[in-house]
């Protein structure tokens, strides 16, 4: 997976409709305000 190789994360929508970031280490962070802001 590219996220693991690059030390980044992937962003996706769960089955429950929540937007989350999943990091290469398995940590999942819920995105509270999924606007168009880039970090």
Distance (Å, whole) CA 8 – CA 18:
20
pLDDT at 23: 92
- Residue-wise pLDDT for 1-39, tens only, equals 566 677 789 999 999 999 999 998 999 999 988 676 665
Distance (Å, whole) CA 15 – CA 1:
21
**Backbone phi and psi for residue 4, each to the nearest 5 degrees, phi listed first:** -70, -45
In the chain, domain spans: 1-31
pLDDT at 24: 87
* pTM for this prediction: 0.65
């Amino acid at each position: 997976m590219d996220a693991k190789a690059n030390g980044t994360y992937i962003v996706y929508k769960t089955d429950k409709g929540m937007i989350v970031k999943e990091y290469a280490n398995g940590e999942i962070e819920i995105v509270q305000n999924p606007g168009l802001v880039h970090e």
